[in-house]
Amino acid sequence: MLVKHIMVFFISICYLTNCSYSDRSAGAVQGNEFIRIITYVAGSEAEEREVEKDAKKKSLRRNLCDAGCDAALADKFMKFHEEGEIEEQLRLLKTHRAALLKTIHEHQKKIDCLDYLVFSLTQATT
């Protein structure tokens, strides 16, 4: 990205001073060619931003999946994300967290029952 900015800077100077800029890949740059290159570089930067945005979305979706969210919940969350509805996103996350915590408590009760049975059996055999 920095290289593109430096290249645009040098091309701009050449354009303003009415000289030509050349490198091995682009050849000589004069006149309307300058506008084409600036448009290309700006387009490339826009594409880079779009790629970064897509990567962030994929990372966010992967994080939701890792947190145990199903596809429907992830889709809702991403819809709210695109719309900038932070309160709705938080509501979804808090609801999912509460459901996970409830599951943990249910499993903890089952583990406690097993521990009691193991304790009872060990007491009975001694």
Q: What is the pLDDT of residue 103?
A: 97
pTM, to two decimals: 0.60
Helix H or strand E segment including 29: strand 27-29
For residue 58, give the amino acid letter.
K
Q: What is the pLDDT of residue 114?
A: 97
Q: What is the pLDDT of residue 24?
A: 45
% of the chain exceeding 70 in pLDDT: 66
CA 90 to chain centre: 17
> Phi and psi for 21 in degrees, rounded to 5?
-115, 135
Helix H or strand E segment including 103: helix 86-125
List all residues 6 or more positions away from 8 whose beta carbon is below 8 Å from its beta carbon.
Answer: 37, 38, 41
**Residues with pLDDT less than 70, the chain:** 1-43
Q: What is the pLDDT of residue 81?
A: 96
